Chain A
Amino acid sequence: MKLALRLAAAVLVTLFFLFPIYWLFMISLKTADEIYSYPPVWWPETFQFGNYVVLFKDGDAKTVWNSLVVASASTVLAMFLGTICAYSIARFRTGGEHLANWIISQRMVPPITVVFPIFLLYVFFGLVDTYIGLILLYTAFNLPYVIWMMRGYILDIPIALEESALVDGCSRWQVLWKVVFPMCRAGLFATAIFTFVFAWNDFIFALVLTRTEVTTYTVQVTHYFGSQSNFWAKISAMSVLGTLPVFIVVGFMQRYLVRGISMGAVKG
């Protein structure tokens, strides 16, 4: 009885969260008439893939590729730089007691307050509307988060493991590679996912710092909101394209995600 109740609750909650996603997929597969019809069409007669075909034909789908490039590159960069910074802070107390707190406070800055100064800088350096520009920005913005998270994971590693490796013949770099990375693998993946998702979902920086060449999909979606009419089909098709990569990434890394998040919390 109790189990049945719990199960019912679980199903309800899942439906509640899944519905918008279901609706998004459906809209992207409907005809214009079906989108506006009342009562709503829960399941279109035939799936209209035309909305997607148009996106690929017009080249709009390339914006998803742009997002993928900047999000992936900035994630790799931020993870690499952030982890070695974190190691240095955790193990050598680089920057004293409070550097880590100071660094994480950088992450609290509202993006909107810095985006225009950065825009002016980027104009000066010719970085507006370039991959490099966005990658640098996302890397910089994610670094504090990566440093903070990885520092926690590294502090959890028993130091004797590293010392033992040092005595056994490893250099510091080898210790990082052979001991630190394997020991906090789950943490690395979990942090990387959040870093990726932040860059992937960013709108404000991409809006201000791109024009035509490296427009990301989040910005592209807004182009379909017209003054007279909104292209709901295109909006939803674009959104689906933007959602799929995240689903795939998280799907593959779910195992690490759960463990990585709970790792810092449970273990002292």
Chain B
Amino acid sequence: MADLKIGGLHKYYGSLHVVKGIDLEIPEGEFTVLVGQSGCGKSTLLRTIAGLETADKGSIEIGGQRVNDLPPKDRDIAMVFQNYALYPYMRIYDNIAFGLRARKTPASEIDGKVKAAAKMLAIEHLLDRYPRQLSGGQLQRVAIGRAVVRNARLYLFDEPLSNLDAQLREEMRGEIKRLHQELGKTMIYVTHDQIEAMTMADRIVLLREGVIEQQGAPLDLYERPATRYVAGFLGSPTMNFIPAVIILNGMKLSVRLGDGTALEIPSSRSGGLGPWQGKPLLLGVRPEHLSRATGELRPGAATCDTKVDLVQPTGSRTYATLNVGGTQVVAEMQAHDVSAPGERVTLAIDMNRMILVDTATDKVISS
């Protein structure tokens, strides 16, 4: 059964239409990540679920109960805010106990719960301090502790890690994920960071300008994006898009690029592409599906000769910028596959993993 069910949700700020008809069902115990560009309405959607904003149209059900008209306190929700939202005039202990006290939990239970939550998050030694005496990472743990101690039905996180530095962020990511496994609660996590979304989510809901562009398991979205937007949003470096048309080359369909290069489409991927011949398309290839052709080619790979323009080693991998069919593309190579700009290479393109996008609609036509 869906733990959270949203139907036809709309939200306006004055005349600004921010959430434009969202339908969403989130099963119990799932970790859902709402991801999208800044300003696409993620926070607004989350705040509407929490009851901090009123829904202008549509329904929100939590555990089968319609909550549109319930104040936040009656929705059985716990929320972690981006700026921690800890009370500066209270000790950490009291900050964590705040929600329990507000809900009239018997005093005898509070102490045990606070200590248990503190232990879970390794902040037991901080309980007597004030928020100003803590570091950013510690503050974030306390903020999470405040939510955890509540034992709510639904947990909401609005970019809780965006104030932390990269290393701490990575650590806390794992922490939150572990917490989810331990508690088994339904959680919704908002971020604009696609890596955070990919690594944490059971399911990604990708928002774009107030509507859901696509939702599904992280790898589903990554490998089978429905639109150019999704394909470009997920993955780093982003997917390469090269203008192309489909042509019939003998008995086989090929993709022809602007400079005449023809890349053969493997037969497993060519089904249903016939009618698209001659139409303006984009060939989408992820950087990791471009490699240097060496020795025997893998089945489904096509090659083209080109020249390296830029080399960016990262240690484990090297990103090479090259020109394919008149477009600059980025290839993720083995560390020593390319050495210097100007080097001539034969590029192997894994055509099994490519996508084709209809430029008229920006929808993906092959998958």
Contact = CB atoms under 8 A, between A and B. Distances in A.
Interface of A: 158, 160-161, 163-171, 174, 178-179, 182-183, 185
B89 A166 contact: no
A171 B87 contact: no
Interface of B: 47, 50-52, 71-73, 75, 77-79, 81-83, 85, 87-89, 98-99, 102-103, 146, 150
A174 B51 CA distance: 17
* Chain B binding surface SS class: loop
B89 A165 contact: no
Q: Which 3 residue pairs of A and B lie closest in terms of their CB atoms, listed nearest first? A: A168-B99, A169-B102, A164-B85
Contacts, number: 61
A158 B86 CA distance: 10
Contacts of A178: 98, 102
18 contacts: A161-B85, A163-B85, A164-B85, A165-B102, A166-B71, A167-B51, A167-B52, A167-B73, A167-B77, A167-B79, A168-B98, A169-B99, A170-B102, A171-B73, A178-B98, A178-B102, A182-B89, A183-B89
Contacts of B82: 160
Given A174-B102, A179-B87, A160 B81 contact: yes
A166 B81 CA distance: 13
B87 A182 contact: yes
Given A174-B102, A183-B89, A168 B78 contact: yes
Given A163-B85, A165-B102, A178-B98, 8 more contacts: A160-B81, A163-B50, A164-B81, A167-B52, A167-B75, A167-B79, A182-B89, A185-B89
A164 B146 CA distance: 10
A164 B52 CA distance: 10
Contacts of B52: 163, 166-167
B79 A164 contact: yes
With most chain A CB atoms within 10 A of its CB, the pick from B51, B72, B83, B150 is B72
Contacts of A163: 47, 50, 52, 72, 79, 81, 85
Contacts of A182: 87, 89
A173 to B, nearest CB: 12
B102 A158 contact: no
B204 to A, nearest CB: 24
A174 B99 CA distance: 12
Contact of A169 (B73, B83, B87, B88): B73
Given A158-B85, A182-B89, A165 B98 contact: yes
Contacts of A174: 102
Contacts of A171: 71, 73
Contact of A167 (B72, B83, B87, B88): B72
Contacts of A165: 98, 102
A8 B82 CA distance: 51
B312 to A, nearest CB: 39
A160 B89 contact: no
